[in-house]
Amino acid sequence: MLQRTSVVNYLKVDTVSFSSILEIGDSTFTQGFSRAIAVQREAEAFFGNEADFTSYSAFQIPIPFSPITENISMHSQQLKPIIKVQNIDVIGVSSSSILQIGSSKHISMEARVDHIRHLLSDHSEEK
């Protein structure tokens, strides 16, 4: 892992929610996972059985990760192994996101949201 020191004079974060992480310091492995079903209706109704994630394909399909097949060559030189920041002001970190001050080796974040809209029948053809 990189050997750097992170110095932040002031940090203000208003909201961290829905499987999100505020990490101050180094980490080796970070994994976040968030899923949601957002139902919007013109008429107010809740049936009570709508949050069964297994019945929605959006939550079952594997994410296709393409393998890296090309050779990557990288050279890094740290003349000053310190990162200095005066102020960080964040409104929100949400839905499987990370705000990290420090180094990380492996990060895997996933957020899946299925938006469903139930509309009343079309009244545009009525006279």
- Encode pLDDT of 44-86 as tens digits: 777 777 778 888 888 999 988 888 899 989 887 778 888 889 9
- Mean pLDDT for 8-12 is 95
pLDDT at residue 48, as a whole number? 74
User: Is the confidence at residue 10, as pLDDT, over 90?
Assistant: yes
What would the mean pLDDT of 107-111 be, rounded to a whole number?
A: 90
Q: Is 90 exceeded by the pLDDT of residue 91?
A: yes
> What percent of the chain has pLDDT above 70?
92
pLDDT number for residue 89: 97
| pLDDT over 50 at 127, yes or no | no
Q: What is the C-alpha separation between 114 and 54, in angstroms, rounded?
A: 12
The whole-number pLDDT of residue 116 equals 86
